[in-house]
Amino acid sequence: MSRIWTIYLSGEIHSDWRERITDGVKAAGLPVELNGPNTVHADSDDCAVAIFGPEPDKFWHDHKSARLNAMRTRTLIQEADIVVVRFGEKYKQWNAAFDAGFAAAMDTPYITLHPTEHDHALKEVNAAAAATARTPEQVVQALAYIINGKMPG
């Protein structure tokens, strides 16, 4: 099979989980294209005012940037074969849950990635997920199995 699998990495931007998945799929030689949102926090907040001009009201400042970022995120989620949604230890991370709901409605399978302490709060998000992982390495193993049928270990 010559297929390239497109994987969208949604959610937390404050830990190295994307790097660990990137390294893992490279080490495993998996035919994947990894996409995701802009992960430079300050830029994703300020992009629209930097380009289109300032907004004195913080609500519209945020609004303009969120709509600009959405052109990237929606496009990439819509063409993903699989979405990985990461919830870190802190922050509200409502955009991660939003992406999960979006993927669910589009029938795009997604894997959640979060510590067990979030299990109860994420039960609806997990119920619609195709799998729940605890580490980035498990995500890589899942991709290796899905794509190549390779079992871990």
Please work out the total of residues on this chain that contact a second copy, with binding judged by CB under 8 A.
85
**In 3-state terms, what secondary structure has residue 144?**
helix
CA distance 53 to 22: 35
Q: Is 67 an interacting residue with respect to a second copy (CB under 8 A)?
A: yes
Interacting residue with a second copy among 14, 19, 60, 89 (CB under 8 A)? 60
Q: Is 27 an interacting residue with respect to a second copy (CB under 8 A)?
A: no
Q: Could you tell me which residues come within 8 angstroms of residue 10 by beta carbon, excluding any fewer than 6 positions away?
A: 36, 37, 73, 77, 83, 84, 85, 86, 95, 96, 99, 100, 110
Interacting residue with a second copy among 14, 15, 26, 75 (CB under 8 A)? 75
Smallest separation (angstroms) from a second copy to the CB of 28: 13
Stretch 105-134 residues interacting with a second copy (CB under 8 A): 105-107, 109, 111, 118-128, 130-134
